[in-house]
Structure 1
Amino acid sequence: MFQPAIAGFFLGASLIIAIGAQNAFLLRQGLLRQHVLLLVLICAASDALLIAAGVAGLGSLVRGAPSLLPLVTLAGAAFLLVYGALALRRAVHPGVLSGAGGGPTGWAPAALTCLTLTWANPHVYLDTVVLIGGLSARYGDAGRLAFGGGAVAASFAWFFALGYGARLLAPVFARPLAWRVLDGAICAIMWTLAGRLLSDIL
């Protein structure tokens, strides 16, 4: 079960680590040291719930209908190729993240903002329920759980590192070069995973 867990971890990490509204908000709150634990738990627990729903729901559906597996694998590979291309574009035209700016200061407004950025983002459902859930079916019943567990572990690791390491990361990621390197690595990982998926069905 070690290999599915590692695959799930790297896929989950590739999908989570990207410039986006949720990560920018968590980084800013981390810089300000405001409600960091609450917000980290909201982000990570939300991902865990969605991944579990995908692995238990879509993963079981695909597992029960073997004819769907090549289609889900092909769709997953296409999604990873497109996502990798977007990461490559970000690497060519990097942005920066900053902790400056206004925003909610109380725990309730901060939590509501975090929940909105998480659950109102359609990409989170594609990433967790559709992509991770669907691809988990490739590993059988036990491997499917390990794959989902790896993705959940990546989510918790990233959000805790971002929230509590924000003050250390901020000077680094205030420079476009850092995001250029990071997004380039994300592109390489996603395209490698897509290549492996395609090799399984071609």
Structure 2
Amino acid sequence: MTHLTFPVFPVYTQGLLLGLGLIVAIGAQNAFVLRQGLLREHVGLIVLFCALADALLIGAGVLGMGQALGDRPALARALALAGAVFLAAYGWQALKRARHASALTAASNGVPLSRLAALAQAAAFTLLNPHVYLDTVLLVGSIGAQHPPLLRPWFIAGASSASVLWFSALGYGSRKLAPLFARPRAWQVLDSLIGAMMWLLALLLLRQALWD
């Protein structure tokens, strides 16, 4: 029963914080979800698709990278170090964004979307963005693969929970959140928190790569 002593909660929390840090940013996908939430058009379908797509990509990344790195400890260590560098750079970019005013807006052309059209646009914003594969499959996958096999599902659950929480808040809470997202100051504070969070995760990953 040694698996009961595994640090489940820290691994879940690491996945959650990493997922939130990567997903909470001004971008086309978030603007689209916000727009659909404001218009109350197919919100549940859009939120479900975006969250499920992230979960599948994260799971594929963690499990695929785990299998690929299973017998290659040197490669696993190298990817962990590369991930730490990436997170540090990502955090620095977030802190740089915090110095400049910006806001998330949801432009609307007034033409309602059909369910199929809304789903197609959600798929395009999600799957045709090359950064989604860098974030979910490579970065999240390589970090999640550093954990023992029994803990990887908890890491996947944590990272996937971030997508569920964020897209649900963005879609269903858009009416209340839109004024906040339209304020550049709010994004400056958020980017500052993201930057600090990414640096903390980078330090933890660096320690794991060098001393574990």
Normalised TM-score (structure 2): 0.91
CA contact (8 A) 2:102 2:187 kept: yes
The farther-off stretch of 41-50 and 135-144 is 135-144
CA contact (8 A) 2:63 2:145 kept: no
How many Å separate the matches in 2 of 1:170 and 1:14?
A: 20
Q: Which residue of 2 aligns with 1:176?
A: 184
Q: Does 1:80 align with 2:87?
A: yes
The one-character-per-residue Cα deviations of 1:124-149 (angstroms, maximum 9, x if unpaired) are 11111111111112211011121111
CA contact (8 A) 1:10 1:151 kept: yes
Deviation of the 1:100 alpha carbon = 3.3
How many Å separate the matches in 1 of 2:191 and 2:112?
A: 29
2:207 to 177, 199, 202: 199
Q: Does 1:35 align with 2:42?
A: yes
Q: Does 1:115 align with 2:123?
A: yes
Q: Aligned in 2, Cα 1:182/1:158: closer, same or farther, shift over 3 Å? A: same
Name stretches of at least 5 consecutive residues in structure 2 with no aligned partner: 1-7
Paired amino acid for 1:79: F
The one-character-per-residue Cα deviations of 1:65-100 (angstroms, maximum 9, x if unpaired) are 211121011111111112112212221113112233
The one-character-per-residue Cα deviations of 1:129-183 (angstroms, maximum 9, x if unpaired) are 1111111122110111211111011111111111101111011111100000111
Q: Where has structure 1 moved over 6 Å in runs of 4 or more?
A: none
- Higher helix content, 1 or 2: 1
Q: Which residue of 1 aligns with 2:104?
A: 97
How many Å separate the matches in 2 of 1:185 and 1:28?
A: 25
Q: Does 1:154 align with 2:138?
A: no
CA contact (8 A) 1:13 1:155 kept: yes
How many Å separate the matches in 1 of 2:151 and 2:127?
A: 27
CA contact (8 A) 2:58 2:159 kept: yes
> Which secondary structure does the structure 1 equivalent of 2:149 belong to?
helix
Deviation of the 1:104 alpha carbon = 5.6
> Which secondary structure does the structure 1 equivalent of 2:82 belong to?
helix
> Which secondary structure does the structure 1 equivalent of 2:188 belong to?
helix
Identity of counterpart residues, as a percentage? Answer: 52
CA contact (8 A) 1:136 1:144 kept: yes
CA contact (8 A) 2:81 2:205 kept: yes
Normalised TM-score (structure 1): 0.95
The alignment yields a C-alpha RMSD, in angstroms, of 1.3
Paired amino acid for 2:198: M
How many Å separate the matches in 1 of 2:180 and 2:49?
A: 25
Q: Aligned in 2, Cα 1:104/1:131: closer, same or farther, shift over 3 Å? A: farther
Question: Larger radius of gyration, structure 1 or 2?
Answer: 2
How many residues are treated as equivalent by the alignment? 202
Deviation of the 1:20 alpha carbon = 0.8
Paired amino acid for 2:31: A
Paired amino acid for 1:137: A
